[in-house]
Amino acid sequence: MNERIRELKEQATKEIWGNDPFNGAPSFEGYELDEEKFAELIVRKCAKVANENVGLFTPGCGNSVLEHFGVEE
């Protein structure tokens, strides 16, 4: 997997905690990928790259990407 994608995946991964059924203490259950957050991070990164590169010739290109996917700035 691409390192940049791996970094975004790590940012979108959250810890899952529950309660121990025997004593009610917090209990670590594992990790879960927040798919919506992962997708949002990818869209934001694409918009940033578009604004930095394509935006030189087409201002606001990255903003159009955000708008298309409904991601607020």
pLDDT tens figures, 7-47: 999 999 999 999 988 998 999 999 999 999 999 999 999 99
Label residue 55 by pLDDT band (50, 70, 90): low
pLDDT of residue 5: 94
Tell which wins on pLDDT, 50 or 7: 7
pTM confidence score: 0.79
| Residues 49-69, mean pLDDT to the nearest whole number | 84
Question: Using CA atoms, how far apart are residues 61 and 11, in angstroms rounded to an integer?
Answer: 25
Instruction: Check if the beta carbon of residue 65 is closer than 8 Å to that of residue 43.
Output: yes
Tokens found for residue 71: 């991601």
